[in-house]
């Protein structure tokens, strides 16, 4: 716990070096909405340098957890004892994802003997590795590690079921807190010159915001888009190493005039306001925040969603998704939406209503305020 005389509670966030956008967003919102009078420190599970993660958090007052040991390592009582000792100065502990699971194990082993502060472990759908979790080893390890933690925070109904059934956690210990965004900010009107490419009269845009990663099947996405009529344009906002290959694929199909890569954008809401259909990143690599923003912007979704994210759009929109989570393929879903403006409007409005009802930032912040207040005995 904090030293006597110090009235500022200390909260440690221990997360993977490659934490997804949803995890980093959650921490930002917790610090901004809950912890104005608290000291938030960041530690990286795989090492000791959280510099990259602190880039977007230092403006909110977050600091590096200097001297906090690496969480990952060989199983052994001495290492777990060192982790437990490092937890003692804090008032509250938040761990995130499988790379930080040993923090929960150390907490369970030494909580009583070392009088450790409360710990809440987080798992989010975007970083959930379903294949890695199929075996018994991880399930049993989690059951042991969660023996004395104060709670498990998940962001979806699917992971809530996993926590209850696979990890055998009591319902009272599970907190399902959906990722929340500022849904009002994504209700802006379209500004035709918001991007480097201007939307012309009569055009319809299929768009996405993504990192242009070489390991993603962008060619398949461009081929699927090619099934749409001439007035439809494909606009992919973002930067990355795959840019030249994507332009080459469009040239091979002779649709370079319909495929636009305007680069990064400062205001994602303005970009989304120009889209008529939101195209999910290929290969099931969609990110939680991007999908939530598109839903909040009132857009119908096309493409493939990872199983852990299928709860984000409205029920009717899932029916037009590609692959195992919907029917048909990418071209089928795009063609269906492109040909039916009433369907696009219906799904878009239902998505917007769903976002406002279930994924608004205020709800997430309020849930965390209650969690933190209870853990700190009302000190918030």
| Residues 40-96 pLDDT 10s | 999 888 876 677 777 777 777 788 887 888 888 888 889 999 999 999 999 999 999
Strand-by-strand arrangement of the 259-263 sheet = 259-263, 232-237, 204-209, 277-279, 301-302
Using one digit for the tens of pLDDT, what is the confidence trace for 319-350?
Answer: 898 764 444 588 889 999 999 999 999 999 99
Q: Tell which residue, 288, 316, 285, has the closest CA to residue 303.
A: 285
Q: Is the pLDDT reported for residue 5 higher than 70? A: no
Calpha distance 341→328 (Å, rounded): 20
Q: Tell which residue, 131, 115, 102, has the closest CA to residue 43.
A: 102
pLDDT of residue 226: 94
The helix, strand and coil proportions of the chain, stated in percent and rounded to the nearest 5, come to 45, 15, 40
Q: Are strands 232-237 and 301-302 parallel, antiparallel or unpaired?
A: unpaired
pLDDT of residue 330: 85
pLDDT of residue 251: 96
Written in H, E and C, the secondary structure of 335-346 is HHHHHCHHHHHH
DSSP states along 273-336: HH-SEEEPPGGG---HHHHHHHHHTT--EES---GGGTTSS-HHHHTTS-GGGSSS-HHHHHHH
Q: Is the pLDDT reported for residue 106 higher than 90? A: yes
Q: Alpha-carbon Rg of the chain, whole angstroms? A: 22
Q: What is the pTM of this model?
A: 0.88
Q: Is the pLDDT reported for residue 36 higher than 70? A: no
Burial class (CB in 10 A: 0-12, 13-18, 19+), 324: exposed
Using one digit for the tens of pLDDT, what is the confidence trace for 268-313?
Answer: 999 999 999 999 987 555 578 889 999 999 999 999 887 778 889 9
Give the domains, in start order, of the chain with CATH numbers: 10-180+360-375 (3.40.50.2000), 183-358 (3.40.50.2000)
Q: Tell which residue, 303, 294, 291, has the closest CA to residue 335.
A: 303
Torsions phi, psi for 207 (to 5 deg): -135, 160
SS3 call for 39: strand
């Amino acid at each position: 716990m904090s030293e006597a005389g110090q009235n500022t509670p200390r909260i440690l966030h221990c997360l993977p070096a490659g934490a997804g956008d949803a995890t980093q967003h959650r921490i930002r919102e917790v610090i901004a909405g809950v912890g104005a009078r608290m000291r938030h420190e960041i530690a990286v599970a795989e090492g000791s340098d959280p510099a990259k993660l602190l880039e977007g958090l230092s403006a909110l007052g977050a600091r590096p957890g200097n001297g906090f040991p690496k969480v990952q390592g060989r199983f052994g009582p001495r290492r777990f004892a060192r982790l437990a000792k490092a937890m003692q100065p804090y008032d509250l502990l938040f761990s995130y994802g499988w790379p930080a699971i040993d923090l929960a194990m150390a907490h369970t082993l030494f909580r009583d003997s070392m009088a450790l502060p409360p710990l809440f472990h987080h798992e989010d759908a975007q970083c959930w590795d379903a294949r890695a979790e199929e075996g018994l080893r991880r399930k049993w390890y989690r059951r042991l590690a969660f023996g004395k933690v104060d709670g498990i925070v998940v962001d979806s109904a699917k992971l809530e079921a996993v926590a209850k059934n696979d990890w055998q956690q009591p319902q009272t210990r599970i907190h399902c807190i959906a990722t929340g965004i500022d849904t009002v900010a994504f209700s802006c009107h379209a500004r035709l010159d918001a991007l480097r490419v201007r939307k012309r009269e009569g055009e319809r845009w299929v768009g996405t915001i993504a990192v242009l990663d070489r390991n993603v099947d962008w060619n398949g996405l461009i081929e699927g888009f090619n099934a749409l009529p001439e007035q439809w344009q494909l606009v992919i906002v973002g930067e990355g190493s795959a840019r030249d290959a994507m332009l080459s694929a469009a040239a091979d199909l002779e649709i370079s005039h319909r495929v636009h890569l305007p680069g990064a954008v400062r205001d994602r809401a303005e970009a989304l306001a120009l889209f008529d259909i939101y195209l999910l990143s290929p290969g099931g690599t969609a990110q939680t925040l991007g999908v939530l923003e598109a839903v909040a912007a009132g857009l119908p979704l096309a493409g493939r969603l990872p199983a852990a994210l299928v709860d984000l759009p409205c029920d009717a929109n899932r029916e037009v998704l590609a692959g195992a989570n919907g029917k048909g393929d990418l071209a089928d879903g795009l063609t269906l939406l492109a040909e039916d403006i009433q369907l696009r409007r219906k799904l878009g409005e239902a998505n917007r209503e769903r976002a406002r009802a279930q994924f608004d930032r205020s709800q997430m912040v309020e849930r965390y305020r209650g969690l933190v207040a209870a853990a700190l005995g009302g000190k918030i």
